[in-house]
Structure 1
């Protein structure tokens, strides 16, 4: 069968609602020809359903689907849950899982070579419109682990405490740094000839020069003029042309943020925000070392009525408004500005002399009030609302944190009830099916507006069903079924107002009830119940002269019966039940959700110990005292000039090694080894082999084995 098969006939394209309405019209006296024309259903199909020869909506074609609707929902929910935990399945993974799912449950299938076919996957995606093939965004393990419910709850508690003195959103600010280079990060998509194997886009160089931009915005959409840190040792006014109005410039050979530069930015912030005792300001920032280990900024903030709140580590992608709502459009507009410059100036490349103008062009487009307001709202910072994060947002942290109740577990349990029929256009009967003690189904059909029969079966001592149907408004039969000594059903139906049916149950081959029901004076239903393979009931009621209820029930391997119920012309039930199994293997049993078995920390290994290791109010007295104590432990250092001369005295190879080491950045503050003070201690992580200042890592002289916080469990 082709993948894009086009139907050549209109057979079976009528809906259940149309058939319901046609059956109702015939019941009220309209001819079958007139009813079939009015509702667009074939007359022959209408007549077969009136005579009870087939269910309301029979599937077409000789092939049946491999999985039931409930099994497909379980498979879909497991795929979604794996993706929410950042362990999404590829197309091949999903096809292999489908094959194993069918094999484990002993389902009839046509899969080969240990994998489901591509056609099955295409049809599966068509049946489940909420699934699609997506390209995931790379997310570090530290971010997946750091964004968990406990840490986020603590942050919002601190935010509520710090916000008590805030008079409004106009004094709530967020600051962050972003790197801009002379080479665009990702070229824009372009039109090209179909079939072309490689499409190129011009860039200025292989690797660009880095410039840091410091951006700050408030919750009402006001922007503090940015700061740009240019990678130069001396001031050059030619590099500042075209920048946004009010931009301040700093120069450093690395182009990175430094502690003293951030102190000068904070002075720039106070000049524009103008906090006071009547209107104190709240500044939210990340835990970068230049922010949190800056005693000058803390003292200046306390003196100028600014409360500084630090977000938890590795959560800026969710809790920092600038990262969530501003940096992406800024980068998009900056890439477009570079491409426009290269297109309008053939033969030229972007250098540091154009970067301020290109950044200014992108900044003015991205810095809109709506962007800032929506970013604060999406993070739940203003208005303060932790409920912006659903339970599924914390799913990636389940790998390394205590297991929370899965958000899809309740959905999967609720989806099992979707097999039940719902009310039709004339208020036809809807039923709810639940499992009995031994896994057998118990159903609770309720009466529709037409007063159809409602029943409440309950389980007997052996888990078999005992039901107490009651009469609807139209006086249909009431019956009382009770359990016998062995838990078998015994029923004593009594005649309704119209002299409806009476039944005499008899024992089947396994001692279970078999009943023969004969039609009452009105010619209502007759049923014959026999024992199934496990001794459970299987019934085949047939329709009476009035076309009332007709059902065909067959027992599955363990007697479980998922049901599909349809209505006859007067709204009474006609059901067709297919086989299930009590010990069905679910997709999560074949491919379990990932759970980490974290090893114990090795002896001597030490995690980073800093005054601010999580969400905190940076300007509070305990944090300030802890920072002062840590800074007093700083070791005396030698001058940078002496170390530089020592490197120059070596041979050529030694000088090359010194040059290579000089560009190694600190893991935390980003300062390169060549820019650090001579004699300042450095440590190498034993896991990732990256380097960091002893001061930044919070290490002592006796720490032999160092594990950074990114590698430590």
Structure 2
């Protein structure tokens, strides 16, 4: 396939007409208003082309015929668009694999494709043929928690919002949010010699950033920024030459300009947010008549009791956004911060060109650079000259469009709902073609995740300080005390020995009443709950000295026992921890437990290890263990003899 066709010099013009022009000429010929020759002259279309189209001859497209029909190509691209709607857009490679899967399902083998996989030229040609409906865009990554926001939570948010913003003018609807301005101006395309493998640009930068609080209203009014430095103290030079007046609010309430504060972390906290609310927002809000609405995220530092009390006393409704939905519901995130940071990076790069030795932006220069970046942002002209975008101030224009895009003002919940895929059965039925069921189920699983699968909790490995461990290594004890708790001692007295000594010494919790009990899974930490004692002391059980068996007249379901098992040939005897599941006359159904990594205090259930034993096979009754992270923990070693 030719990658890019170049017409030869002097060649005739090929198809210098549009499809609409051709259809109009054919309509004139069909209605008898023009002859084929007159239409060819009038519309400047070759006579042979009009004749063949009119007679229905040579209807195929010129050149090599495509593998897929027009409807198949549209179906494949619509399936790719559905993936993008669900948050998993396809690359050109994914599109090629999707086409291969379609061909394999149809049993078609295309010889021009290697292993039935279309080439990159096919993907680019398909996108070019359907460029009016589909195209490639640069994708932005979002977390799965953001993608899990569903239509029900958004509808609930808009139901509550509608009651709050009804009859509220746009000048009284505000949105606030904090962001940070980095010291790195970012990457930019530059000119290099061809073949340079590692293009570099000398410019000092760091990972430091400065937090700013931004607040704007639905009518396009921007309050002066609130800057938060990372420092213990503030200095006079850190607030000089900051932004005052236009393009921010020029009224007397904001005549003092930007405000500056500091925290030890550089991030906003509850006292800092309270100070911003009292010193920056309240003076502007008190100047307005009627009720005001303040919209923001549900960050813990924003939910301050003093702020909520002042909101109530100043007739301000404090509204929180849906968690993890700021990327589609918060106006500043949707349409303001990106152009502001673009202007900031441009201003920062210009400043670094004249300050080559500066490692980072000094706090003395930050107010001036912030002012320049906002002024630079305000100069951006609209892409089109429509009536809605006739506002000359880009700051005001961006704020108005941001509130509109998030459906706050004018109120329109569909502005947000159209960004979320519809998970209802009615919407799924509208997905066309044979890709409907498999594609929809796959996308639901990818976006919302699987349900009903338990997550495994991590467990701390017992490794000595400075030691490493390999993938297949078993974790061993790191200290002598841990070794005592984790080692399965052969000489340790079995629980059955307590039975021979009588009821007074049979209670295994007697030695643990005054000593702290440690978790065998994590020996250095005590258990949260004290080890429970036996619910029933073995006072009615008779000790048998020859085989150490204990008979009990009252076995109960749910009790843990140490049971005796014999090999098929009767030569070997084993002792296992079991739990009684059912009792029927002399037969007892038990579930077997296996010691965890040779630890005789920690056991796990073996779900398919169900056995039937007799009452005489019970050696002794065990204390009720503690269930921790799927493992059953006994207060001391159990004398098991396992395979």
Report the TM-score range of the alignment, normalised by the length of the smaller protein: 0.5 to 0.7
Q: Separation in 1 of the partners of 2:169 and 2:200?
A: 49
Residue matched to 1:521: none
User: Which stretches in structure 2 are left out of the alignment for 5+ residues?
Assistant: 245-256, 379-394, 458-465, 467-627, 630-643
Residue matched to 2:104: 103
* Pair 1:394-2:405 in alignment: no
Residue matched to 2:299: 288
Over 3 Å counting, the alpha-carbon distance change for 1:192 and 1:600 in structure 2 is: same
Over 3 Å counting, the alpha-carbon distance change for 1:311 and 1:340 in structure 2 is: same
Aligned pairs for 1:165-184 (under 5 A) are 167-184=168-185
* Pair 1:59-2:60 in alignment: yes
Structure scoring higher RCO (CA < 8 A, sep ≥ 6) equals 1
Residue matched to 1:85: 86
RMSD after superposition: 3.5
Over 3 Å counting, the alpha-carbon distance change for 1:63 and 1:297 in structure 2 is: same
Residue matched to 2:522: none
Aligned pairs for 1:10-25 (under 5 A) are 16-17=22-23, 20=26, 23-24=29-30
Greater CA deviation, 268-277 or 7-16?
A: 7-16
Shift in Å at residue 60 of structure 1? Answer: 5.2
Shift in Å at residue 238 of structure 1? Answer: 2.1
Over 3 Å counting, the alpha-carbon distance change for 1:194 and 1:154 in structure 2 is: farther
Greater CA deviation, 6-15 or 150-159?
A: 6-15
Shift in Å at residue 277 of structure 1? Answer: 10
Aligned pairs for 1:222-261 (under 5 A) are 222-245=221-244, 246-261=257-272
Aligned pairs for 1:558-707 (under 5 A) are 585-586=434-435, 589=438, 593-596=442-445, 598-600=450-452, 602=454
| Conserved? CA contact 1:182–1:352, under 8 Å | no
SS class of match (2:219) = coil
| Conserved? CA contact 1:22–1:39, under 8 Å | no
Q: Separation in 1 of the partners of 2:52 and 2:310?
A: 87
| Conserved? CA contact 2:211–2:266, under 8 Å | yes
Q: Separation in 2 of the partners of 1:266 and 1:390?
A: 31
Aligned pairs for 1:30-49 (under 5 A) are none
Over 3 Å counting, the alpha-carbon distance change for 1:591 and 1:279 in structure 2 is: closer
Cα deviations across residues 496-549 of structure 1 (Å, max 9, x unaligned)?
A: xxxxxxxxxxxxxxxxxxxxxxxxxxxxxxxxxxxxxxxxxxxxxxxxxxxxxx
| Conserved? CA contact 1:379–1:388, under 8 Å | yes
Shift in Å at residue 289 of structure 1? Answer: 0.6
| Conserved? CA contact 1:22–1:36, under 8 Å | no
Shift in Å at residue 304 of structure 1? Answer: 1.6
Over 3 Å counting, the alpha-carbon distance change for 1:312 and 1:20 in structure 2 is: same
Q: Separation in 1 of the partners of 2:224 and 2:14?
A: 68
SS class of match (2:60) = coil
| Conserved? CA contact 1:277–1:305, under 8 Å | no
Q: Separation in 1 of the partners of 2:5 and 2:44?
A: 24
| Conserved? CA contact 2:327–2:334, under 8 Å | yes
Give the paired residue count.
Answer: 420
| Conserved? CA contact 1:79–1:89, under 8 Å | yes
Residue matched to 2:339: 329
Residue matched to 1:134: 137
Q: Separation in 1 of the partners of 2:261 and 2:223?
A: 16
SS class of match (1:76) = helix
Over 3 Å counting, the alpha-carbon distance change for 1:591 and 1:99 in structure 2 is: farther
Shift in Å at residue 275 of structure 1? Answer: 3.1
Q: Separation in 2 of the partners of 1:278 and 1:102?
A: 66
Over 3 Å counting, the alpha-carbon distance change for 1:385 and 1:11 in structure 2 is: closer
Residue matched to 1:497: none
| Conserved? CA contact 1:101–1:585, under 8 Å | no
SS class of match (1:225) = coil
Residue matched to 1:204: 204
* Pair 1:373-2:400 in alignment: yes
Q: Separation in 1 of the partners of 2:34 and 2:414?
A: 56
Over 3 Å counting, the alpha-carbon distance change for 1:142 and 1:118 in structure 2 is: same
| Conserved? CA contact 1:322–1:375, under 8 Å | yes
Residue matched to 1:155: 157
Shift in Å at residue 338 of structure 1? Answer: 1.2
Q: Separation in 1 of the partners of 2:178 and 2:278?
A: 16
Over 3 Å counting, the alpha-carbon distance change for 1:269 and 1:162 in structure 2 is: farther
Over 3 Å counting, the alpha-carbon distance change for 1:33 and 1:302 in structure 2 is: closer
SS class of match (1:224) = coil
Q: Separation in 1 of the partners of 2:81 and 2:223?
A: 41
SS class of match (1:333) = helix
| Conserved? CA contact 2:26–2:50, under 8 Å | no
Q: Separation in 2 of the partners of 1:101 and 1:242?
A: 63
Q: Separation in 2 of the partners of 1:100 and 1:12?
A: 35
Over 3 Å counting, the alpha-carbon distance change for 1:408 and 1:347 in structure 2 is: farther
| Conserved? CA contact 2:79–2:435, under 8 Å | no
* Pair 1:317-2:327 in alignment: yes
Cα deviations across residues 116-161 of structure 1 (Å, max 9, x unaligned)?
A: 1223222212211133333211111111112x22122111111111
Residue matched to 2:310: 300
